[in-house]
Copies of this chain bind each other. A is one copy, B any other.
Amino acid sequence: MDNAIVVTYELACKDAEEAQMAAVAIAYEQTVELPVDFPLNEEITTRIIGVIRQVRQIGDGLYAAEIAYAAEITGGQIPQLLNVLYGNISIKNNIKLTGVEFPAQFLDNFKGPNYGIEGVRALTGVYGRPLLATALKPMGASPSELAAIAYAFAAGGGDIVKDDHGLVDHSFCGFKDRVIRCIEAVERAADKTGRRCLYFPNVLAEVGVIERQVEFALSHGAPGILISPYIVGLDTVRSLAVRYPIAIMAHPALTGTNFQAPRHGITPSVLLGTLFRLAGADICVYPNVGGRFSFTLDECSRLNKALRGGLGGLRPSFPAPAGGMSLANIAEMAALYGPDTIYLIGGALHGYDKDLSLGSRVFMDKIRGFFSERVETPAANSNAAVSSCDINAGSVNHVSVPKIHMAFNEDFRWDGVTPKVYKTGGQLDFKAVTRHELIGTNEEGADFDLRYFQIEEGGFSSLEKHVHVHVIICVRGKGTLHCNGIAYTLRPLDVAYVPPLHVHQLSNDGKDGPFGFFCIVNHLRDKPLRP
């Protein structure tokens, strides 16, 4: 099997034969979802079902099975990848997902982190040592109280301050107010220190609201956000990373159900490491060895490697161990984790002294003692220089620059816009219609497209319906909109609206020359159907 995703599962089985059978059952369950004795044709057997690469004993009653899945069955998308890796078998015991390797071609579907380790460093201007981060808390504090904490931490030389992951758009502490005040606080501290402390607000909200919060954060100067990928969905994170030039710090909330059963779940290195990075996490927060949660040192090391090591062309991500760190063990942490690490320190830092700025300075001095710090001028946020090609571009590769001004010419043409045939393909009837694509084909990043259509005398558009709506502005001549059996005469600058699934058609039944109108539609929309 070419172009295969190779997955390692640890299987608790009584002997090698049982392990082999268990591996085959997984290869069927995660693809065709049928018993292994179900009769299937050869194409499905060879192309769809997972292939057992090897099954080897790794402990007492413990086997490692390598299964190769055709990358094709994931559809190149994260939700189905999760489903193939562990969807149904998550409900079975004695199967632990411990490793995954992707072919280069599969990884090409993904952009990964926007910043990565180097990019986050460039935002701070700090090289050569671990970064120091803390969280704003507690829930219930007011925006100005949280901003005061942000200021003290930044003034003491801290590098990144993030919201606690439970701070949302609360009635008692609104998202926007918090963002504005905390940004102002870290900028004020920067004026004093000459250093830049990054503020990452927590974005945990409903579908649609998440995007608005990211836009708000970006446009108010926050270079990144904190998000909980397992709660909002990994693909939501990917979608944000692709649409916005934002740094993403991923929080492990709700992932812990994977880590508690000894023979079950997805290991931290695969889930928080490889998969979070694939989705676009620039920084991955995880419970450090020795903290109040409980990863082992081995787990932490494997996770760090998954974040920083090779993964196609994807940028390396910063590990951000949280918990279990104090002034006493910074030396040990430095030796174990190296410089490309973010120390996320809460309790030990806040508990050092009532003056957080002092605590931050003391921790930072301690960190500096083990590394050779190098400081440069911090880079500006990407959004300061963003063009429409970077924002909202669904595709990583394709870029074409939209025009700012399209002058109108008297014959109803626009500079740089070539009229096209109204429709190609499909089986819908129409006559004497041309189409001018004004907005929507050049990565403008709008949620809508603007087109101009012109219908000559005696012509008509196709009779059709669809879920998306039309908004029409007549600008030339006179014509008729037929909508669910009612005819509306349209004259210049009349506006019309076609509701979802209303059967409609536009026609030019007169002798007054061409009928021309703008038509605005959603950028993402369903295809027209016959009535």
Contact = CB atoms under 8 A, between A and B. Distances in A.
Given A84-B166, A408-B494, A215 B468 contact: yes
A75 B447 contact: no
Nearest to A203: B79
A55 interface: no
Interface stretch (A28-36, A100-108, A124-132, A358-366): A28-36
Interface in A488-514: 488, 490-501
Interface stretch (A58-66, A185-193, A256-264, A311-319): A256-264
In the assembly, how many copies of this chain are there? Answer: 2
Interface residues of A, number: 141
A327 to B, nearest CB: 18
A408 to B, nearest CB: 4
Given A448-B520, A448-B522, A469 B388 contact: yes
A335 interface: no
Contact of A407 (B445, B467, B494): B494
A526 interface: yes
A313 B440 CA distance: 42
Contacts of A89: 256
Given A33-B164, A232-B79, A90 B408 contact: no
A510 B438 CA distance: 27
A255 B90 contact: yes
B523 A447 contact: yes
Interface string A152-171: 00000000000011101111
A294 interface: yes
Interface string A49-91: 0000000000000000000000011010111101110111111
B80 A137 contact: no
A21 interface: no
A421 interface: no
Interface stretch (A234-242, A336-344, A424-432, A453-461): A234-242
A254 B87 contact: yes
A325 interface: no
14 contacts: A40-B140, A44-B138, A48-B140, A77-B168, A79-B204, A83-B254, A88-B165, A91-B287, A208-B524, A260-B261, A407-B494, A408-B494, A414-B495, A448-B471
Closest 4 A/B residue pairs (Cβ): A233-B233, A90-B256, A91-B256, A32-B138
Interface of A: 30-35, 38, 40, 43-44, 47-48, 72-73, 75, 77-80, 82-84, 86-93, 135, 137-141, 164-166, 168-172, 204-209, 211-212, 215-216, 218-220, 228, 231-233, 235-236, 238-239, 252-261, 264-266, 287, 293-294, 347, 383-384, 386-388, 391-392, 394, 402-408, 412, 414, 438-439, 444-448, 450, 465-469, 471, 473-475, 481, 483, 486, 488, 490-501, 518, 520, 522-527, 529
Given A79-B206, A91-B293, 8 more contacts: A77-B206, A91-B259, A208-B239, A232-B233, A257-B264, A387-B499, A405-B481, A444-B499
